[in-house]
């Protein structure tokens, strides 16, 4: 059954798949961190761990139903008028509603953090996730949305690997398990870091807005949507991840600068007291 693991090509594919799952899972960790941080402190770590464990189970189930996922790519309804045409598919609808959900969730969170006054903390708390079950449910929904894209990408990468039809499936399941375990190791540290730095919370929410817009554009691209004769193209994920990485670099530099300023201020205060 596991003879495929004796092949060098299989190991290269496994490493590539694992790396891909980790990169695509960064979006998931950001959302998990924001959802978990709205819970009471005693439940935050539990929500993160259970969210990732159930996400792994969900992805493995989806891998076994990969033929169904591939079938979701086929359009089941067409709209064709003079200025607009589209072929609606199950996959496109999942990405569309997922993107809209991320846009709504992220803008709502930013509004609460920036616009609402401090004395309305009770109002903010009343809108927060109050139970562990609700948090995990939201995590599973968003993981399902992200899983569609990553699983179909993995299927394309493993096509033709191995002599047995199940060889590619074995590699994908192992890659998912390894990537989730790695994410579990770092997820709580990322969650605590995001919660500790308000600027990182806003930056993470901004990332989710970008990802939500990308999902909507991807849905339109997969549906071959055309407006006034022009087809909507997909947004290359490399551009998106570069923008996110550059934003993180700038924010880390800002944090380092602010920390240096605080140290200088503390030293000046000590000198004043000594005088």
Task: State residue 121's pLDDT score.
Answer: 47
Task: State residue 139's pLDDT score.
Answer: 81
For the chain, the helix, strand and coil percentages under 3-state DSSP, each to the nearest 5: 80, 5, 15
The two tokens of residue 252 are 């880390």
**42 and 142 in contact (C-beta within 8 Å)?**
no
Task: State residue 6's pLDDT score.
Answer: 65
Task: State residue 92's pLDDT score.
Answer: 84
Residue 157 pLDDT exceeds 70: no
Q: How far apart are CA 128 and CA 189, in angstroms?
A: 22
Residue 23 pLDDT exceeds 60: yes
The per-residue pLDDT for range 170-225, each reduced to its tens digit, is 778 888 888 888 888 888 888 888 777 777 778 878 888 888 888 888 888 888 88
Q: How far apart are CA 115 and CA 121, in angstroms?
A: 12
Q: How far apart are CA 71 and CA 259, in angstroms?
A: 53
Task: State residue 159's pLDDT score.
Answer: 59
Task: State residue 193's pLDDT score.
Answer: 81
Between these two residues, 72 and 214, which has the higher pLDDT value? Answer: 214
Domain boundaries, the chain: 3-74+87-214
The per-residue pLDDT for range 84-123, each reduced to its tens digit, is 888 888 878 888 888 888 888 788 878 777 765 454 445 4
Task: State residue 212's pLDDT score.
Answer: 83
The per-residue pLDDT for range 230-266, each reduced to its tens digit, is 888 777 777 777 887 888 888 888 888 888 887 887 7
Task: State residue 105's pLDDT score.
Answer: 79
């Amino acid at each position: 059954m596991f003879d495929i693991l004796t092949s060098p090509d299989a190991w290269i594919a496994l490493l590539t798949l694992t790396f891909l799952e980790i990169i695509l899972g960064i979006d998931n960790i950001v959302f998990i961190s924001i959802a978990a941080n709205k819970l009471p402190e005693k439940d935050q770590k539990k929500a993160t761990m259970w969210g990732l464990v159930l996400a792994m189970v969900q992805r493995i189930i989806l891998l076994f139903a990969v033929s169904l996922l591939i079938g979701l790519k086929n359009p089941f309804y067409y709209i064709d008028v003079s200025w607009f045409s589209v072929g609606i598919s199950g996959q496109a609808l999942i990405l569309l509603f997922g993107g809209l959900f991320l846009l709504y969730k992220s803008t709502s969170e930013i509004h609460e953090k920036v616009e609402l006054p401090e004395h309305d903390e009770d109002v903010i708390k009343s809108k927060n996730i109050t139970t562990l079950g609700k948090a995990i449910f939201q995590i599973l929904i968003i993981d399902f949305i992200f899983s569609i894209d990553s699983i179909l990408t993995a299927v394309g990468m493993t096509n033709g690997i191995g002599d047995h039809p199940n060889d590619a499936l074995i590699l994908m399941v192992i890659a998912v398990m390894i990537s989730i375990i790695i994410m579990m190791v770092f997820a709580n540290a990322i969650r605590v870091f995001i919660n500790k730095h308000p600027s990182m919370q806003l930056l993470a929410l901004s990332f989710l807005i970008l990802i939500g817009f990308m999902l909507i554009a991807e849905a339109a691209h997969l549906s071959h949507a055309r407006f006034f004769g022009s087809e909507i193209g997909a947004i290359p994920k490399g551009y998106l991840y570069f923008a996110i990485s550059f934003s993180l670099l700038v924010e880390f530099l800002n944090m380092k600068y602010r920390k240096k300023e605080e140290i200088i201020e503390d030293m000046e205060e000590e000198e004043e007291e000594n005088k």
